[in-house]
Structure 1
Amino acid sequence: MTFARIAGTGGFVPGEPVSNQDLVERGIDTSDQWIVERTGIRYRHLAEKGAATSDLALEASRRALDAAGVEANDIDLVIVATSTADCIFPSTAALLQAKLGITNGCAAFDVQAVCSGFVYAMSIAEKFIASGSNRRALVVGAEVFSRILDWNDRGTCVLFGDGAGAIVLEASDEPGVLASALHADGSHSPILCAPGTLAAGGVTGDPFLRMDGQAVFKLAVRVLGEVAHETIDAADLTLGDIDWLIPHQANIRIMQSTARRLKLDMDNVVVTVDRHGNTSAASIPLALDVAVRDGRIQRGQRVMLEGVGGGFTWGAVLFRF
């Protein structure tokens, strides 16, 4: 039986950290206290004008390849999870493939599941590897959400940041990914969306991200708890078997509520929302990379990733690192 295990991780955030006070000084009607109390966010990173999602993905990917000890042409599948693609087409994954110098003709495609995108992408890559059709996948979550924010809407613009995270997932005889579960319910799309559409050479309708924070909070806490139990059951394990939980980094209160539902101590939850803000599909792989590089996550430990995002989408992946 072929398994898929993580061989290396990488992360990248652009520029210097932008503090809550920096946003106040830029004229946004908010305060550090207001943001921290409601979200736990203290800093975020914002891409410079002209920096594309594939540029951020490139840096994270190089670091993941280095950590895995492989060359770019050793990759035979590239999947990028993003809601802020470089262009309408080609895919950001194809552009990343070219920037990495991958010339072997491997498949490359994007996954659009917003903040759940990396969990979706990793689950898809695992299926390709387990089937035997691929040996080594580069899975990336990358976003430049600052491009779709209404900077006059203090309820949303203070929440998000830009960044990228990546993993190299490779075939192994030893168990890596143990179980996963993916879900969506499009009836909830109005509570978190960017409803603009492309037509006649421009964007029609509202081009910015819009969110009903209270509705998102209630739905997120419920489905994150449910999908965690579903994934644990699928792996025939218990909550006590989880060493680390890495949830989507959107709001510290959502993470705390989820941990309580799962009877997990917050010491076993990886939190980076305070320094990165909500980086959508990049948030989970960024947090994973931080915890791997600072030594918290060790080989052999069981880690659960779970995300929830616009769509509405949600999912979880449980793996042995």
Structure 2
Amino acid sequence: MKYAAVGPIAIHLPERVETNAQLKELFPGWDLDTIYEKTGIAARHIAAPDECASDLAVKACQKLFAEHHIDPQSIDFILLCTQTPDYPLPTTACLLQHRLGLRTNVGALDFNLGCSGFVYGLSLADGLIRGGSVKRVLLITAETYSKYIHEADRSLRTIFGDGAAATLIEAADEPSLTAFQFGTDGTGADTLLVTKGGNRAEDAAIKPRHRHRWQSALYMDGPSLINFTVTAVPQLIDDTCRAANLTSDAIDLFLFHQATRKMLDQLRERLGLSEERMPMALEHCGNTVSSTLPILIDDLRRKGKLNRQMRNMLIGFGVGWSWAGCVWQDRWRR
């Protein structure tokens, strides 16, 4: 049997950079210093008006192919995680097959998950490879949340950035992704949602948990999301460690979805982790939803902070509510 292994990763962030300093000029009444203390975010990349998730995904994939000498014809399956597809239909992954010039006998599908999506994608790729039908999976995460956010929305504009990551998942002789654990609680659907654009009549749609303060299509109840996270994630870590037959002390790094610094700090304190064991990488790109984990992994690789002996835990959590975790050893040969 073959197993999925996380290969090279390429990141693409839109050309336009929006800094806190720029926002301060536009909105003098916004306390950007306090916002930065809470979010840990100083800048975000924002997609152009005519730039969609597939455009970011194509650039990330082209960068992956070029920098790591990958033949596009060697790809057997495309997995695209996005909550901002180009169209309700067709499947955006089908558009990517054509735009990337891949074979027509590849599989291609979208899955609509946000903050837990990268871990879910790893599990899907692992299942495909263990099943023996594919050897190389292109796992893509691409989001343009900025298109859901009104320009005067202080709470969301200062957090979410756009971006895409392309990760090559390859067949390997030994497992490096183990102990996958998942969680879902749809009672939290009203804490992070966009009700426009689907087929549910707006007057019958899920209602935001509290007053919708801003004009953005995207609604977020930050305090409720934090409360959910500090309850669900510690249990997820316990379950993942138990499934891997490990204690939490045996985990070298805890790699979390990069939501905001406040949320991550509360998790770190709740779990009793040092800053070194729970790295962050969101200051210059913001919360890129499904792409935060591959961005973090790429950052750690570039800094030489990952090696083959380390046991790390990947944890995604958020919109849905949805959460997922696994144990991962980075066996990619640079």
Q: TM-score, normalised by structure 1?
A: 0.92
Alignment CA distance shift 1:68-1:262 (3 Å) = farther
Aligned counterparts, 1:287-306, within 5 A = 287-306=296-315
> Structure 2: which 5+ runs fail to align?
206-214
Aligned counterparts, 1:213-292, within 5 A = 213-292=222-301
Q: What residue is the counterpart of 1:124 in the other structure?
A: 124
In the alignment, the residues of structure 2 paired with residue 223 and residue 64 of structure 1 have an alpha-carbon distance, to the nearest angstrom, of 34
Q: Give the SS at the match of 1:274.
A: coil
CA contact (8 A) 2:241 2:247 kept: yes
In the alignment, the residues of structure 2 paired with residue 73 and residue 28 of structure 1 have an alpha-carbon distance, to the nearest angstrom, of 52
In the alignment, the residues of structure 2 paired with residue 300 and residue 99 of structure 1 have an alpha-carbon distance, to the nearest angstrom, of 38
Q: What residue is the counterpart of 1:47 in the other structure?
A: 47
Q: Give the SS at the match of 2:46.
A: coil
Q: Tell me how far 1:208 sits from its aligned partner.
A: 0.8
Q: Give the SS at the match of 1:129.
A: helix
Q: What residue is the counterpart of 1:115 in the other structure?
A: 115
Q: What residue is the counterpart of 2:92 in the other structure?
A: 92
In the alignment, the residues of structure 1 paired with residue 94 and residue 142 of structure 2 have an alpha-carbon distance, to the nearest angstrom, of 14
Q: Deviations over 1:64-96 (max 9, x none)?
A: 345654211111111011100111112221222
In the alignment, the residues of structure 1 paired with residue 221 and residue 122 of structure 2 have an alpha-carbon distance, to the nearest angstrom, of 28
Q: What residue is the counterpart of 2:75 in the other structure?
A: 75
Q: Tell me how far 1:215 sits from its aligned partner.
A: 0.7
In the alignment, the residues of structure 1 paired with residue 101 and residue 253 of structure 2 have an alpha-carbon distance, to the nearest angstrom, of 34
RMSD over aligned Cα atoms:
2.2
Q: Which moved more, 1:121-130 or 1:254-263?
A: 254-263
In the alignment, the residues of structure 2 paired with residue 203 and residue 59 of structure 1 have an alpha-carbon distance, to the nearest angstrom, of 35
Q: Give the SS at the match of 1:94.
A: helix
| 1:62 lines up with 2:72 in the alignment | no
Q: Which moved more, 1:265-274 or 1:80-89?
A: 265-274
Aligned residues: 320
In the alignment, the residues of structure 2 paired with residue 104 and residue 179 of structure 1 have an alpha-carbon distance, to the nearest angstrom, of 33
Which residue identity lines up with residue 210 of structure 1 in the other structure?
Y
In the alignment, the residues of structure 2 paired with residue 89 and residue 300 of structure 1 have an alpha-carbon distance, to the nearest angstrom, of 43
Q: Tell me how far 1:109 sits from its aligned partner.
A: 0.6
Q: Which moved more, 1:164-173 or 1:22-31?
A: 22-31
Q: Deviations over 1:8-31 (max 9, x none)?
A: 111111114321121222337423
Q: Give the SS at the match of 2:284.
A: helix
Moved over 6 A (4+): 202-207
Alignment CA distance shift 1:124-1:279 (3 Å) = same
Q: Tell me how far 1:168 sits from its aligned partner.
A: 0.8
Q: Give the SS at the match of 2:110.
A: strand
Alignment CA distance shift 1:27-1:182 (3 Å) = same
CA contact (8 A) 1:151 1:157 kept: yes
Q: Which moved more, 1:299-308 or 1:162-171?
A: 299-308
Which residue identity lines up with residue 83 of structure 1 in the other structure?
Q
| 1:21 lines up with 2:21 in the alignment | yes
In the alignment, the residues of structure 2 paired with residue 261 and residue 171 of structure 1 have an alpha-carbon distance, to the nearest angstrom, of 37
Q: Give the SS at the match of 1:169.
A: strand
Q: Give the SS at the match of 2:323.
A: strand
Q: Tell me how far 1:259 sits from its aligned partner.
A: 2.5
Q: Tell me how far 1:210 sits from its aligned partner.
A: 0.5
Q: What residue is the counterpart of 2:169 in the other structure?
A: 169
In the alignment, the residues of structure 1 paired with residue 107 and residue 29 of structure 2 have an alpha-carbon distance, to the nearest angstrom, of 46
Q: Which moved more, 1:260-269 or 1:165-174?
A: 260-269
Q: Tell me how far 1:63 sits from its aligned partner.
A: 3.4
CA contact (8 A) 2:42 2:283 kept: yes
In the alignment, the residues of structure 1 paired with residue 56 and residue 309 of structure 2 have an alpha-carbon distance, to the nearest angstrom, of 29
Q: What residue is the counterpart of 1:142 in the other structure?
A: 142
CA contact (8 A) 1:178 1:320 kept: no
Q: Which moved more, 1:140-149 or 1:99-108?
A: 99-108
In the alignment, the residues of structure 1 paired with residue 170 and residue 270 of structure 2 have an alpha-carbon distance, to the nearest angstrom, of 33
